[in-house]
Structure 1
Amino acid sequence: MPSIKGTQTELNLLKSFAGESQARNRYTFFASVAKKEGFEQISAIFTETADNEKEHA
């Protein structure tokens, strides 16, 4: 298999990974805030969404 180093494909993969990671962090933060405010069900939804984003990354 040829190397992807320095290609547009490498750049696209890096951008995609960064985007998924940032989304997961955002949802994890939102879950934490919702839990602190007493919104357990909303926190669980954000946590599940964060877990889904982790699978994409």
Structure 2
Amino acid sequence: MADKEAQTIRDERIAFILLAVVLAPVLSVAIVGGYGFIVWMSQLILGPPTG
């Protein structure tokens, strides 16, 4: 039983490292980059913002 608990803890640590170190930064860059791309394309099509 202790071996199964140790395996579960190891799996949870690997999942946390994957989420915190890999997935969160990749998603952040993708979201910010996607938003910037949308703004850039909309300004190419519609023109610069007027104020």
TM class by smaller structure = 0.5 to 0.7
Among 28, 35, 51, the residue aligned to 1:26: 35
2:18 paired with 1:10: yes
Task: Name the structure 1 match of 2:9.
Answer: none
TM, length-normalised to structure 1:
0.50
Higher RCO by CA contacts (8 Å cutoff, separation 6 or greater): 1
Q: CA RMSD in A?
A: 2.1
Aligned length: 36
Alpha-carbon displacement from aligned partner over 1:1-57 (angstroms, at most 9, x marks no partner)? xxx732x22111211111110111100000011111223xxxxxxxxxxxxxxxxxx
Give the fraction of aligned pairs with identical amino acids, expressed as a percent: 9
Gaps of 5+ in 2: 1-12
Gaps of 5+ in 1: 40-57
Larger radius of gyration: 2
Runs of 4+ in structure 1 deviating by more than 6 angstroms, as ranges, are: none
Report the AA paired with residue 9 of structure 1: I
TM, length-normalised to structure 2:
0.55
